């Protein structure tokens, strides 16, 4: 049982997060730079090119990489400061094993053998699937592929899933339904060519700052911008039309826009007749979706809906972008499909300046979701239940069909199965559910009753505190490999330095575990390039076909867009140029998306909408960025954005500590009064853990297709914090800014065992 033995403050004191903003040699004495390593930023799906300055096997600074075509040297503040993580004093530098009081350092042999013996014990007692694995897509393509193979062959479990389930799976599911392929349809180069840019549920300015340059380029050429968001974000501020939609009502808005497009004759009739299926059913499904009907649901005035429809309908070229704002719902797939319907109804796809895409959030959110990381998927974005797909992978891996597990549980279902006692062991890499799981109190209860947890991470994440064994792994800049950016471009990640102390590369850890689990025959590689070359063979013939992509080509061509079926193939920056989808029938599939309410909507008891999202200064669960002082100074902790009219009604003032309550939990944080949010909605960023976690408030309701939780809508109430709550919150906020000192090196806690 992995209940925490010490107060949380003790874990922070020993393992961090500590905030540090000091380069490894201090600000005053920068050593001469020995080499510049051309690689990519680890902090979002843009994967901006960056050069890391290296001296003495340490990253000592950065230099913009102006030749890399996507970002030409541009970076966001996370990218600028990312170099500070590799030598951060919080780095885990030795394996740790839980003791009666906390953790003790252990040898690799002892730690790995303990993991292996627990895997064997649990699987012997309760079956193979009682041991699960959770992963994440900040991992490279090579590591993502390896995790998929490791879980299926070495753990031999069906229960492998990943943190994309908390991120963008609704987009992937919607794309597969409509297009038969899960990738942005265009490279970003088509953005400046479009005369209308429609952005639904994406705070591009904070989540993907370097993509802004492409949108500004379009605007400089005369493009107009529509932004759909409950908040006026920096991109919303500049939009020609900002639709402040009520959280959870996107599909109703999009249905009404589609109806207006149809009624006004803005449909590409030839395209929907010849290239699409389901058009007449779709038309019938929106017949009653008038702007007035949608206005009542969405809170967007009917004339704004008509104006959006006219702008969309009359445009000759367009690029539609969406992100988590429409995807993280119990009808996320429907929301995505309702947007795709707008694109297909006007036939504006597969041509210059005619684009569509989800903006993937995680570092390798694109590549990591293609090669067998998901519970229902095999490499090349194959279906684990499709006999032909299984046969191909069995051949590549040299196994028989009965050795390959079938579809397993999704992320939230894994935690539910831990609660229920069905899953009793878990290896967790690159995932921090104590921040990112909906209803974090539920996730904590699951971890507390989980008999065995192994965490592979480079820092002591809030999840790792609950582990029985913590294995110190590697950062992105410590292993060779590739990632695939949000536009489908495979790029090269370089090892700038080696992991510190006794930390090892993630690849070494997985392969060593596999060897000790008796699957060294199937999981043994000379180097990461050999893993990539096997991934290429495994992906061959799948939709995400990497066959023709080599590390050499990726470096020489500064990225190659998949699908790329042969080495002579130029890659595919723009999909659908032949006006054919990747479905067997070659058609684009339209689906009706009848509006239904969110799982929880405000009522008399909880009258306010709560929605959540990101800050520009933090990445995902904050394990990395909450340790970098510049970023922490700019955004030290969560705050509650509220409209002045609501604040006045509730008698609350700017900077006051308030308590937000939902049916799951309560969160006490400072109030920020801003006019840039709907009066019926509050916003809280989600990057913080434990009692500062926004996800204490969210619910575990899932999209029936994608199994994505509804992070974007909850019903809440807000009141002034009590004196006790305020005292507790101030103490937690103070803990977010503790700087390291000589006594707080990792591994110092509880050596007595």
Secondary structure (3-state) at 714: strand
In the complex, minimum distance from the CB of residue 402 to other proteins, in angstroms, rounded to a whole number: 51
Q: In what order do the strands lie in the sheet with 481-484?
A: 481-484, 489-493, 560-561
Which contacts (CB < 8 Å, 24+ apart) does range 651-656 have? 651/720, 652/718, 652/720, 656/720, 656/721
**Which of 281, 654, 739, 741 contacts other proteins by CB under 8 A?**
654
**Which of 573, 644, 665, 679 contacts other proteins by CB under 8 A?**
644
Site residues for other proteins, 599-628, by CB under 8 A, read: 616-617
What's the rounded Cα separation, in Å, for the pair 410 and 167? 13
Site residues for other proteins, 669-688, by CB under 8 A, read: 670, 672-676
Does 234 interact with other proteins (rule: CB under 8 A)? yes
Helix (H) or strand (E) holding 104: strand 103-105
State the residue for tokens 């067997």.
584
Does 350 interact with other proteins (rule: CB under 8 A)? no
Site residues for other proteins, 24-43, by CB under 8 A, read: 27-28, 30
Does 579 interact with other proteins (rule: CB under 8 A)? no
Region from 144-152, 228-236, 488-496, 586-594 binding other proteins, contact rule CB under 8 A? 228-236
Does 299 interact with other proteins (rule: CB under 8 A)? no
Chain centroid to CA 199: how far?
Answer: 18
- Phi, psi (degrees; rounded to nearest 5) at 71: -110, -10
In the complex, minimum distance from the CB of residue 223 to other proteins, in angstroms, rounded to a whole number: 12
Nearer to other proteins, 222 or 742 (CB): 222
**Which of 273, 395, 556, 655 contacts other proteins by CB under 8 A?**
655
In the complex, minimum distance from the CB of residue 595 to other proteins, in angstroms, rounded to a whole number: 30
Bridge partners for 720 per DSSP:
658
Does 238 interact with other proteins (rule: CB under 8 A)? yes
In the complex, minimum distance from the CB of residue 499 to other proteins, in angstroms, rounded to a whole number: 24
Nearer to other proteins, 4 or 674 (CB): 674
**Which of 19, 52, 59, 76 contacts other proteins by CB under 8 A?**
76
**Which of 232, 393, 396, 708 contacts other proteins by CB under 8 A?**
232
Q: Hey, what are 165's tokens?
A: 């389930």
Region from 70-78, 111-119, 348-356, 467-475 binding other proteins, contact rule CB under 8 A? 70-78
Q: Hey, what are 279's tokens?
A: 């058009």
Q: Hey, what are 733's tokens?
A: 């906020």
Q: Strands, DSSP E only, in 359-499? A: 377-378, 382-383, 425-429, 452-457, 469-472, 481-484, 489-493
Region from 233-241, 300-308, 319-327, 445-453 binding other proteins, contact rule CB under 8 A? 233-241
In the complex, minimum distance from the CB of residue 86 to other proteins, in angstroms, rounded to a whole number: 15
| 3-state SS track over 70-101 | CCCCCCCHHHHHHHHHCCCCCCCCCCEEECCC
Does 233 interact with other proteins (rule: CB under 8 A)? yes
Site residues for other proteins, 445-474, by CB under 8 A, read: none
**Which of 73, 89, 301, 665 contacts other proteins by CB under 8 A?**
73
Does 179 interact with other proteins (rule: CB under 8 A)? no
| 3-state SS track over 633-702 | HHCCCCCEEECHHHHHHHCCCCCCEEEEECCCCEEEEEEEECCCECCCEEEEECCCCHHHCHHHCCEEEE
8 Å CB contact between 466 and 4: yes
Length, in residues, of the chain = 753
Chain positions contacting other proteins, by CB under 8 A: 21, 27-28, 30, 61-62, 64, 66, 71, 73-77, 79-81, 205-206, 209-210, 212-213, 216-217, 220, 222, 232-238, 616-617, 630, 633-636, 639, 644, 654-657, 670, 672-676, 733
């Amino acid at each position: 049982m992995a209940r925490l033995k010490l107060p949380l403050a003790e874990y922070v004191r020993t393992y961090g997060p500590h905030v540090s903003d000091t380069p490894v040699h201090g600000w005053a004495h920068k050593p001469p730079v020995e080499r510049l390593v051309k690689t990519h930023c680890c902090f979002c799906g843009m994967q901006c090119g960056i050069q890391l300055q290296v001296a003495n096997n340490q990253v000592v600074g950065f230099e913009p990489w102006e030749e890399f075509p996507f970002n030409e040297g541009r970076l966001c503040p996370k990218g600028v400061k990312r170099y500070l993580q590799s030598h951060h004093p919080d780095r885990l530098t030795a394996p740790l094993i839980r003791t009666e009081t906390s953790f003790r350092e252990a040898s690799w042999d002892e730690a790995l053998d303990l993991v292996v013996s627990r895997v064997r014990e649990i699987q012997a007692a309760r079956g193979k699937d009682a041991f699960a694995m959770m992963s994440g897509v900040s991992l490279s393509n090579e590591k993502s592929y390896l995790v998929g193979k490791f879980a299926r062959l070495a753990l031999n479990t069906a229960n492998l899933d990943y943190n994309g389930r908390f991120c963008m799976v609704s987009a992937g599911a919607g794309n597969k339904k409509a297009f038969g392929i899960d990738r942005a349809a265009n490279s970003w180069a088509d953005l400046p060519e479009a005369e209308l840019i429609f952005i639904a549920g994406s705070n591009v300015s904070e989540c993907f700052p370097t993509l802004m340059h492409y949108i500004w380029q379009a605007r400089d050429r005369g493009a107009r911008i529509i932004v759909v968001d409950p908040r006026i974000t920096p991109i919303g501020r500049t939009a020609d039309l900002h639709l402040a939609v009520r959280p959870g009502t996107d599909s109703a808005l999009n249905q009404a826009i589609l109806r207006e497009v149809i009624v006004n004759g803005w449909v590409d009739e030839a395209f929907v007749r010849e290239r699409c299926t389901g058009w007449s059913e779709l038309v019938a499904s929106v017949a009653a979706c008038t702007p007035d009907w949608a206005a009542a649901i969405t809170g967007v005035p009917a004339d704004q809906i008509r104006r959006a429809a006219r702008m969309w309908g009359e445009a000759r070229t367009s690029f539609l972008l969406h992100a988590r704002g429409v995807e993280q719902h119990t009808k996320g797939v429907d929301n995505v499909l309702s947007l795709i319907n707008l694109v297909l109804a006007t036939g504006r796809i597969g041509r210059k300046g005619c684009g569509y895409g989800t903006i993937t959030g995680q570092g390798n959110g694109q590549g990591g979701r293609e090669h067998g990381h998901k519970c229902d998927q095999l490499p090349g974005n194959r279906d684990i239940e499709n006999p032909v797909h299984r046969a191909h992978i069995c051949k590549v891996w040299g196994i028989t069909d009965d050795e390959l597990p079938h579809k397993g549980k999704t992320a939230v279902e894994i935690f539910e199965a831990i609660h229920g006692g069905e899953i009793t062991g878990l290896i967790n890499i690159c995932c921090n559910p104590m921040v990112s799981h909906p209803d974090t109190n539920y996730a904590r209860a699951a971890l507390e009753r989980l008999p065995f947890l192994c965490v592979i991470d480079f820092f002591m994440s809030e999840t790792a505190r609950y582990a029985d064994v913590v294995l110190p792994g590697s950062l992105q800049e410590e292993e060779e490999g590739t990632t695939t950016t949000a536009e489908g471009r495979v790029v090269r990640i370089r090892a700038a330095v080696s992991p510190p102390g006794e930390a090892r590369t993630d690849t070494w850890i997985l392969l060593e575990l596999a060897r000790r689990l008796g699957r060294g025959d199937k999981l043994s590689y000379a180097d990461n390039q050999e893993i990539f070359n096997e991934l290429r063979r495994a992906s061959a013939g799948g939709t995400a076909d990497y066959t023709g992509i080599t590390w050499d080509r990726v470096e020489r061509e500064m990225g190659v867009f998949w699908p790329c079926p042969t080495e002579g193939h130029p890659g595919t920056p723009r999909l659908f140029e032949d006006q054919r989808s990747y479905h067997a029938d070659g058609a684009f599939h339209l689906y009706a998306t009848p509006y239904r309410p969110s799982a929880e909507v405000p009522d008399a008891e909880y009258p306010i909408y709560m929605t959540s999202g990101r800050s520009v200064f933090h990445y995902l669960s904050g394990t990395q960025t909450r340790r970098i002082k510049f970023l922490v100074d700019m955004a030290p902790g969560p705050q509650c954005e509220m409209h002045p009219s609501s604040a006045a009604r509730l008698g609350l003032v700017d900077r006051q500590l308030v308590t937000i309550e939902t049916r799951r939990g309560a969160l006490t944080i400072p109030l920020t009064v801003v006019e840039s949010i709907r009066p019926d909605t509050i916003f809280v960023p989600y990057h913080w853990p434990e009692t500062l976690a926004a996800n204490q408030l969210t619910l575990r309701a899932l999209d029936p297709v994608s199994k994505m939780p509804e992070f974007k809508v909850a019903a809440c109430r807000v009141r002034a914090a009590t004196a006790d709550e305020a005292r507790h919150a101030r103490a937690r906020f103070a803990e977010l800014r503790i700087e390291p000192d000589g006594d707080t090196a990792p591994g110092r806690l509880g050596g007595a065992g």
